Amino acid sequence: MQDRDRVDAAPAVTAIMTVYNGLPFVEEAVDSLLAQDFDDFELVVVDDGSTDGTAEALGRRTDPRMRLVRRPHQGRVAALNHAVGLARGRYLANLDADDLALPGRLALPARFLDEHPEVAMVASAVQPFVGEESGRPSRRLPSSDRAIRWSFLLHNPVFHSSATFRTTSLAGVGGYDPAYSDALCDADLLLRLGRRHRLWNLDVPLAAKRLHYGQHFAAVDRRRRVRRHMACRLRAAREFGFPLPLRPVAYAVAAVGAARSMVVIGLAGHNGRVRRRPRSGHPTTPEARASR
C-alpha cells in the first residue's frame, strides 16, 4: 500500500519531453532522466505521431515513473502544451528529445525554486559535448534576473533543455504559444514569464546540447528565423520593464541584437548548428529530425 501511495502522490517535479521521429537519440535522452539521483519526479513523454518506431521503442520501458502518451502529429507546441496539461508536479522540467540530462538536472532546480519563491524559471549553463562537435567547452550563461533581461536584448540567454518552471507560473501565462510552433516557442514563453516574474540561471551545466545536422530549427526558412529573432530582441526592450531612464539604452542594445541576428543567422547562416558540412548518407530530411 505504501508503494502504491508513493506512485499516486503528486511528485515535486514533472519532467516533460516531446518527440517526433526521435530515433536514435530519444532513448538516450529518456534514460538520462530516469538515471537521475532524485526520486520525487515523474516523466511525461508525448509522442507526436512518430512513424520511425520511437513510440514502440519507448513503450518497452517499464519504469513506473515514466508515462508515454501517443497522439496524432500536430507539431511541437501542441505536444508541449499537452505534456504541460498532464503534469502533476509543482515544478516542470523540459528536456528536448535529442539532448541529455546531466547529474543534478532535477534536484538542483527543485531545491533552488524551493528556496526562491520569487523565481518562476531556473535554467543553467549549457554543455555542448554530445554530437558532431563534442569538443566544445561548457558555456556559462548570465545568471541573475537582471543579467538575463539585458542579455535577452542580444540573444536568448536560456537553454530550454535546462529550464525548470514553476508550474503555476507557466499556466498563468498560458503555456506555449501556438503562433511560435515553428521557432522560438521557448524564447516567447520566457518573454511572457519575464513580464511578471524573475528568471535565473545556475552556473553549473544541467543539460548537454546535442549538436547534429538535423537540428529542429534547420527546416525553418532562414528569413523567417531572422524575423523571429529580431522581433524577440525588440520585444525584450519593450516588455521587460526596464527603468524609464534606461529604456533608450535597452532599445539601442536591442537594435544591435536585431542587426546581429540579421548578420549571424541571415547572412552567415549560423544559429547554434554544427559548422561542418554533412557527411554523405547522414540523415538530413525533416523526418529524421527529433521534435524536441
pLDDT tens by residue, 20-57: 999 999 999 999 999 999 999 999 999 999 999 999 99
Evaluate if residue 129 carries a pLDDT over 70.
Answer: no
* Dihedral sign from CA coordinates of 181, 201, 197, 240: negative
**Whole-number Å distance between alpha carbons of 72 and 138:** 36
pLDDT digits 0-9 by tens, 224-244: 888 899 999 999 999 999 999
The C-alpha atoms of residue 72 and residue 82 are separated, in whole angstroms, by 12
Q: Which helix (H) or strand (E) holds 29?
A: helix 26-34
Q: What is the pLDDT of residue 284?
A: 38
String of DSSP letters for 181-196: SSS-HHHHHHHHHHHH
Q: CA separation (Å) from 144 to 58, 191, 252, 257?
A: 37, 15, 21, 20
Model pLDDT, residue 224: 83
pLDDT tens string 47-99 = 999 999 999 999 999 999 999 999 999 999 999 999 999 999 999 999 999 99
Q: Where are the domains of the chain?
A: 2-220, 221-270
Long-range contacts of 245-249 (CB under 8 A, 24+ apart): none
**Distance of alpha carbon 191 from its chain centroid, rounded?**
14
CATH code for the structural domain at 2-220: 3.90.550.10
